Amino acid sequence: MNERIHPVLKSMIPIVGGIAKTFGKSCEVVLHDITDPYHSIVAIENSHVTGRELGGAMSQANIEAIASGGFTRDQINYTKKTADGRILKSSTIVIRDGNQKPIGCLCINFDLSDFVMVRNSINALCHTDEPEEMKEDKGYQGASINEVLCNLVNSVLEASGKPVAYMTKEDKVDIVKVLDQKGAFLIKGAIDYVAKVLCVSRYTVYNYLDEVRVGE
């Protein structure tokens, strides 16, 4: 593969390893050749972060951007989530040839999950029981049912202080219990949505519901 890629991209392969070694195992670094978007990965370090491999494809969103001519701008310091709920801090830097034509990109994906858990632990340690002024809850006014469900699930997950990838069965049962108490499962499609978010089957969610309701 290295024999066929652009010399500019080939010269950047050592940079991939250098960045990864500098920031450690939580930092995935990927070099893409966008002239072959379905086999774009020409170098990758710490691939366990997203599970991709050498010779793998770009994301579908980037493939569509390349096809439409829209893959021209850097994206710096944004966040995204993996399928198992880990939070990534990412940057995508477009690489150009001598004529300023995009030929590839360097992607950095830093897994923040461990740091989020540490932050939540520190917040819990620093928490005090000082009274707060009651605030009117306006969060769901004017929102669609899907938005209400999404916001409700996200708020419960954030309050748990643990990414889904780190959750035990007991943690997920607790999430389902809180959602049930808040009436989430009265919303159409909630079972399927929660199952997807928790990376379990819809039947598992039903079992969790049976478990928490029996104990009430």
pLDDT of residue 101: 92
- Is residue 169 assigned to a domain? yes
Q: What is the mean pLDDT of residues 84-111?
A: 92
- Based on the fold, state whether residues 11 and 109 are members of the same structural domain: yes
- Bigger pLDDT: 161 or 107? 107
Split into its structural domains, the chain has a count of 2
- Based on the fold, state whether residues 13 and 69 are members of the same structural domain: yes
Full-model pTM:
0.62
- Is residue 133 assigned to a domain? no
pLDDT of residue 17: 96
- Based on the fold, state whether residues 82 and 172 are members of the same structural domain: no
pLDDT, tens digit, 9 for 90 and up, residues 70-96: 788 899 999 888 877 788 999 999 999
Which of 56-91 are b and which e, b meaning 16 or more Cβ less than 10 Å from the residue's Cβ? bebbeebbebbeeeebeeeeeeeeeebeebbbbbbe
pLDDT of residue 141: 46
- Is residue 161 assigned to a domain? yes
- Based on the fold, state whether residues 144 and 101 are members of the same structural domain: no
DSSP 8-state secondary structure symbol assigned to residue 49? G
- Based on the fold, state whether residues 158 and 71 are members of the same structural domain: no
- pLDDT above 60: residue 5: yes
Domain that holds residue 170: 140-214
Average pLDDT, the chain: 85
Query: Do 16 and 45 touch, CB atoms closer than 8 A?
Result: yes
Q: Which of 113, 128, 162 is the last residue of a domain?
A: 113
CA angle 62, 93, 71 (to 5 degrees): 35
- Is residue 1 assigned to a domain? no
CA atoms within 13 A on the CB side of 153: 23
- Based on the fold, state whether residues 108 and 144 are members of the same structural domain: no
